[in-house]
Amino acid sequence: MIDLEELPWCAFVGSSGLTRQALDRRSDRDHRQAPDSGVFGPEREWERAALVLEADIWAARHCQVADTTTLRERADQLLRACHNDEHVQISRWRT
- Closest to 91 in 3D by CA, of 3, 1, 2, 8: 8
What's the pLDDT at 92? 64
pLDDT above 90 coverage of the chain, percent: 37
Is residue 71 in a domain? yes
What's the pLDDT at 88? 78
- Closest to 23 in 3D by CA, of 51, 42, 49, 45: 51
Query: For the chain, what is the domain count?
Result: 1
Span 34-46, mean pLDDT?
Answer: 74
- Ordered alpha helix ranges (H), the chain: 18-30, 45-61, 68-82
Q: How far is C-alpha 78 from the chain's CA centre?
A: 8
| Domain span holding position 69 | 9-82
Distance CA(95)–CA(33), nearest Å, equals 32
